[in-house]
Structure 1
Amino acid sequence: MTDPSATTDRTPPSDEQLEEEGDIAADFIEGLLDIADIGGDLALDTRSGRAYVAVEEDGDGSLSVLSNPDTVQALQELTRIAVQAKTGRFSRLILDVGGSRDARHVQLEKLVDAAIARLDDGASQASLPSMSSYERKLVHDIVADRGLVSESYGEGSDRHTVVRRG
């Protein structure tokens, strides 16, 4: 049931609210895994003001069908909607399936390195493909670690990051 006192603004959630989001998300993911007859162990955490739910392999190998980054992104959005339906609050929950977030981080590092190579070849800036706000944040961190600057441009699903020298 939706909490009538819940706000729809983007006020940072409290630790209790993040734990509630994680519990609701875990129940939702467990239900999906049961329906699909896919094994997995759940781990809940809070990181950087977000609920973080990891679905880890339980040894039967069936989780690999869900660990594709596009599939994880879709499951994350469904899970966020389920959490929002229960709490009445916007959720910035992060879902990791079978280490997919670490794998995606490596892919993002390669994208940034390719952008830097374009800069080294004389480009004044290098655009990266559109990606989620979470992935753009990771890209900004990677770019900063490499001593360059980045900014996000565009709206909605077209929002992307541009890398340039400072």
Structure 2
Amino acid sequence: MTTQDVSETAGAVSEETRLKQLEQEGDIAADYLEELLDIADLDGDLDMDVEGDRAAVSIVGGDLQQLVGRHGEVLDALQELTRLAVYRETGERSRLMLDVGGYRADRRSTLMALAEETVAKVKESGAPVSLKPMSPFERKVVHDAVAAAGLTSESSGVEPRRYVVVLPE
């Protein structure tokens, strides 16, 4: 067995181990959220997945707006509580993403469009453009979209008023 074979085997094993860890995070999160839904007497089904390098759990069905809140504030808090529940069980920090009723998916689409419009403005004017304050999730979506369009961006300000600045080339 060559050194490359050993390295590839170790990489496959560690990737398989990481996938199992993410699935375990999803299971722990789903159990926690299921209990929460029962306590709150809310209807909802849980979907678990692994997206890239993080576990993703979605609550779908029923009237779930109260779990999203104004501008996703309740959803953000619920995600943090769920991450804490995973940490309590695993001892490892979780990057789990939680979505309720498709709110994050819809918000991601809106932010991608905003990023495209902003990139076009910056390319046309040659001047930086600052966006409104956003949550960390929202800023990451914008940063990724700006980078994919070939420009750079940075976050400025202090939480909770942190915002993205899209920079010219």
TM-score normalised by length of structure 1: 0.77
Identity of aligned residues (%): 47
Give 3-state SS (helix, strand or coil) of 1:38's partner.
coil
2: distance between equivalents of 1:66 and 1:163?
32
Of 119-128 and 84-93, more deviation after overlay is shown by 119-128
2: distance between equivalents of 1:63 and 1:164?
38
Opposite residue 63 of structure 1, the aligned amino acid is L
* Aligned equivalent of 1:51, options 39, 45, 55: 55
* Aligned equivalent of 1:102, options 77, 102, 105: 105
1: distance between equivalents of 2:148 and 2:73?
26
Structure with greater contact order relative to length (CA < 8 Å, sep ≥ 6):
1
1: distance between equivalents of 2:65 and 2:134?
25
Partner of residue 26, structure 1: 30
Partner of residue 41, structure 2: 37
2: distance between equivalents of 1:107 and 1:72?
17
CA positional deviation for 1:138: 1.3
More helix by share: 2
Runs of 4+ in 1 over 6 A off after TM superposition: none
Tell me, yes or no, if structure 1 residue 163 matches structure 2 residue 166. yes
Are 1:84 and 1:90, in contact at CA under 8 Å, matched by a contact in 2?
yes
Give 3-state SS (helix, strand or coil) of 1:62's partner.
coil
What root-mean-square deviation, in Å, do the aligned CA atoms of Structure 1 and Structure 2 show? 2.6
* Aligned equivalent of 2:144, options 141, 145, 166: 141
Structure whose CA Rg is larger? 2
Q: How many residue pairs are counted as aligned between the two chains? A: 151
Partner of residue 11, structure 2: none
1: distance between equivalents of 2:158 and 2:92?
22
Partner of residue 77, structure 2: 74
Opposite residue 30 of structure 1, the aligned amino acid is E
What are the ranges of 5 or more consecutive residues in structure 2 without an aligned counterpart? Answer: 1-14
